[in-house]
Structure 1
Amino acid sequence: MLPAGATELFVATPLTAPHGFTAGIEGPAVDAAGNIHAANFARQQTIGIVAPDGTARVLLTMPGKAVPNGLRFGRDGTLYVADYVGHAIYRVAPGTTTAVRFAHEPSMSQPNDIAITADGVLYASDPDWRRGSGRIWRIDTAGRATLAADGLGTTNGIEVSPDGRTLYVNESEQRAIWAFTIGSGGALEGKRLVARFPDFGLDGMRADVDGNLYVTRHGKGTVAKLAPDGTLLREITLPGARPSNICFGGPDGRTAYVTEVEHGRLLQFRVDRPGLEWQRLHGPP
């Protein structure tokens, strides 16, 4: 029996009402106050903000034709937004609701998801869905984009390890997770296979403070938790078949939030260890 007030771990429940988000629901990312930000609330081109109790509203609308996908917070509270239509990364300064273009690379297929290092360097996955291929771009703190890896499958979820030495990226259609060593100057070296799945797609990916990876299984309706070496530790069943992405928040960093396409809503479940992104915003628990 659980203690009074305790919540069972790894049991997913809805946080927001069905179809509050469009089928483009993505992101998500949690700010220092515990609010969840996610792409395409109420209509396309928006970023929604969701309080921990599930109350949601539009925070901002992207400029021009920009459509948000992956979201990440920097340690200073800056929100970075991948615009998959305009080949760009935008940023939203703390306390503002205006997205300003930060990086633009016309040769990108589309910046999809974003990883961020402890010193604020971004890595963006760049899938070409039509060709079944993908790349990784590195965006420095001045907004300069350089090609960091090429010749991959449909790159999607992307994450940096707690020690900052490893970059993980998954391939949705090839159902594989790869690791690179982050070398001097941010170069990616030593590509190696971490895990491969026999079925269903891979989408978003985030790490906890121990370096375990949480990977959304699009079409299967689960989140897979893997050890850093790729060992499958558990699989969390979700009330929705098409999870797109995941992040960590809550008062202790141990609440996982999942964007779910089938019902256009955010899901949540409790985990045993804090998320890495939460720790970087708040410090060790």
Structure 2
Amino acid sequence: MVRFPEFGTPTSVRWRFERLNRPSPLRGSNGVVFGPDGLLYVAQFLAGQISAVDITTGRVEVVVPPTGPARAPDDLAFGADGSMYVADITPSRVWRRSPDGEFSLLSEEVRAPNGITCVGDRLFVNEMFPRGRVLELPPDRAPVVLAEGLALGNAMQRGPDGLLYYPHMITGQVWRVGLDGGDAEQVAAEVHEPVAVRFDREGVLHVLSRGEEGIVTRIDPDTGRREVTRTGVAGMDNAAFDRENRMLVSSFASGGITAIEAKRARAVVGRGLNGPYGVAADERGRVYAADHFRLAFDELSTDGLLQQRVGGSCHDLAVTEGAVHVTSTQGEVRTFDPATGSVRTRASELSEPLGVAVLGDALVVAESGSGRVLRIDAGDERSVLAELVRPVGVATDAQQRCYVTDEGRGVVVEVTENGVETIVDELDRPQGVVVVDHELFVLEVGARRLLSVSPSTRASRVEAENLAVGTPPGIERENPPPSTFPPSRPRAFAGLAATPEGDLLLSASGEGTVQRLSTAAQRAPRAQRP
């Protein structure tokens, strides 16, 4: 199942398309809760939508599309009357969706609302923010503060003792507080990267970890006794228990819904890529994908390196022997050594770095927010190579020439010692770019097509059309400046790369796949672009 079937099927005379991973219909999965109809409702922060899953068949239906009022839904709860409550984290809003589907805004006074739960007709929410709060949102008066000083709140729930249990994500603790406030009490410390607190149908406390191993810790709040299970579901976000007391978990890192039965994981909805954004292949042909919350590789749907290793907000990457160079929407450029696991920060406090390429012993980075093209040398010293409007993609060739796509002007330029020279213009949102055998390939995302250009003659042609890149027709996305609290979604970016054999790699974010484009060795004669 593709993520957005509106994209259709790519067409090309020259290229054959092969998906390297199976797409998932859930682009990230965050808060999960069973609704009155027995379906599992899933908040999708990255997709900006809410879906419903039939856990028997795995069928996924979009209930609240990206065009709905909630822009970044992160957690959900159902009230006694069947109303759905939505924590809309990035715009800092809390919504009520009535049983007939009408939305009403309940609050804009909760900063980065995340964990949300109902107790009867009472609504509670916490803040994923340093020094955050736990609040009750009464329908007819101002929010009531129950607890303060949260070190990033997240999924919470009332326990059998009538108290609200919630995690401190940064400090690795679980706390509880009364429904009417009072002194908050620490329940457990040194819990592995807690992201969600959940009670099963027998009243047993489960704490989910957001780490790589997918750890679930069962804790007895009275004795402190613990039992740890490793599920293998990396980047868990939330959980719900069905009528048979089976745990259904979500993953912010790779989406999907996974059932945990007898300590074993079974896919209900397959996991996949959040984007993907940048793509690359190393000298052995191993494929990497920058996927925001992780650096995915090989089996792209399920495996990969989470942000704990390489750093968060991965957006584009370039691979050299023994090193993976990554740009982050948090404003950093990092070099990761897969053999040792070490990470070196090459630059920080940049304004929206996107494309990255290797030029000799240096890196070239498109600093999109400032309009600059930067060179970062082996000693991490920076220099400005060019100033453009909105540079996004970067490519270099064997002759050490450097090409950059300028999405703001709709051009591809060559950056030389003498300045900037336009290679091709009048493009609609050019993004990914790569050079293969003296031929320049460009993703024209606005037109959803792939172009080839001769850097020497400037002749160009359309190589493929109807690509699953960019946002689907009819969906407009806001692009606020990147921020950590509340977390912002990554800007759209469709990467393009080459394999050692000369095939192309395309990040088809419209369906959540990396695609390999291969062709016969004989090249067709070049025709002019219309």
User: Taking structure 1 as reference, are residues 60 and 191 closer, same or farther at Cα in structure 2, changes over 3 Å only?
Assistant: same
Q: Distance in 1 between matches of 2:307 and 2:414?
A: 33
Residue 103 of structure 1 deviates from its aligned partner by 2.3
2:366 to 156, 163, 170: 170
1:206 to 395, 399, 404: 395
Counterpart check, 1:67 vs 2:263: no
The letter of the residue matching 1:231 is: G
Asked whether the equivalents of residues 91 and 100 of structure 1 are also in contact (C-alpha less than 8 Å), the reply is no
Q: Distance in 1 between matches of 2:418 and 2:318?
A: 19
User: Taking structure 1 as reference, are residues 230 and 158 closer, same or farther at Cα in structure 2, changes over 3 Å only?
Assistant: farther
Q: Which deviates more from structure 2 when the two are superposed, residues 57-66 or residues 217-226?
A: 57-66
Residue 99 of structure 1 deviates from its aligned partner by 4.4
Give the alignment of 1:131-280 within 5 angstroms: 134-142=331-339, 143-161=341-359, 163=360, 165-183=361-379, 189-197=380-388, 200-227=389-416, 229=417, 231-238=419-426, 240-249=427-436, 253-272=437-456
User: Paired residue for 2:317?
Assistant: 114
Residue 145 of structure 1 deviates from its aligned partner by 3.6
Using the size of structure 1 for normalisation, the TM-score is: 0.64
Q: Distance in 2 between matches of 1:91 and 1:79?
A: 6
Q: Distance in 2 between matches of 1:99 and 1:174?
A: 33
Unaligned runs of 5+ in 2: 25-253, 256-273, 458-496, 503-530
User: Paired residue for 1:11?
Assistant: none
Counterpart check, 1:125 vs 2:323: no
Unaligned runs of 5+ in 1: 1-40, 129-133, 184-188
Q: Distance in 2 between matches of 1:52 and 1:141?
A: 38
User: Taking structure 1 as reference, are residues 234 and 110 closer, same or farther at Cα in structure 2, changes over 3 Å only?
Assistant: same
Alignment: residue pair count = 211
RMSD value, Cα: 3.2
Q: Distance in 2 between matches of 1:127 and 1:267?
A: 27
Q: Distance in 2 between matches of 1:91 and 1:51?
A: 27
The higher relative CO (CA closer than 8 Å, separation ≥ 6) is in 1
Asked whether the equivalents of residues 323 and 335 of structure 2 are also in contact (C-alpha less than 8 Å), the reply is yes
User: Taking structure 1 as reference, are residues 108 and 138 closer, same or farther at Cα in structure 2, changes over 3 Å only?
Assistant: same
User: Taking structure 1 as reference, are residues 191 and 241 closer, same or farther at Cα in structure 2, changes over 3 Å only?
Assistant: same
Using the size of structure 2 for normalisation, the TM-score is: 0.36
SS of residue matched to 1:179:
strand
Identity %, equivalent residues: 20
Asked whether the equivalents of residues 154 and 171 of structure 1 are also in contact (C-alpha less than 8 Å), the reply is yes
User: Taking structure 1 as reference, are residues 139 and 221 closer, same or farther at Cα in structure 2, changes over 3 Å only?
Assistant: same
Asked whether the equivalents of residues 290 and 314 of structure 2 are also in contact (C-alpha less than 8 Å), the reply is yes
2:305 to 92, 100, 103: 103
Q: Distance in 1 between matches of 2:301 and 2:439?
A: 27
SS of residue matched to 2:332:
strand
Spell out, residue by residue over 1:161-217, the C-alpha distance to the aligned partner (whole angstroms, 9 max, x if none): 1x3x1111121121001111124xxxxx221121112xx311110011222211011
The letter of the residue matching 1:136 is: V
User: Taking structure 1 as reference, are residues 98 and 194 closer, same or farther at Cα in structure 2, changes over 3 Å only?
Assistant: closer
Residue 147 of structure 1 deviates from its aligned partner by 2.8
Spell out, residue by residue over 1:128-165, the C-alpha distance to the aligned partner (whole angstroms, 9 max, x if none): 4xxxxx1112111235444332121110111111x3x1
SS of residue matched to 1:219:
coil
User: Paired residue for 1:77?
Assistant: 285
Counterpart check, 1:56 vs 2:17: yes
User: Taking structure 1 as reference, are residues 246 and 43 closer, same or farther at Cα in structure 2, changes over 3 Å only?
Assistant: farther
SS of residue matched to 2:303:
strand
Spell out, residue by residue over 1:41-68, the C-alpha distance to the aligned partner (whole angstroms, 9 max, x if none): 9849xxx998771443544235732321
Q: Distance in 1 between matches of 2:443 and 2:414?
A: 16
Q: Distance in 2 between matches of 1:235 and 1:268?
A: 11
Residue 255 of structure 1 deviates from its aligned partner by 2.0
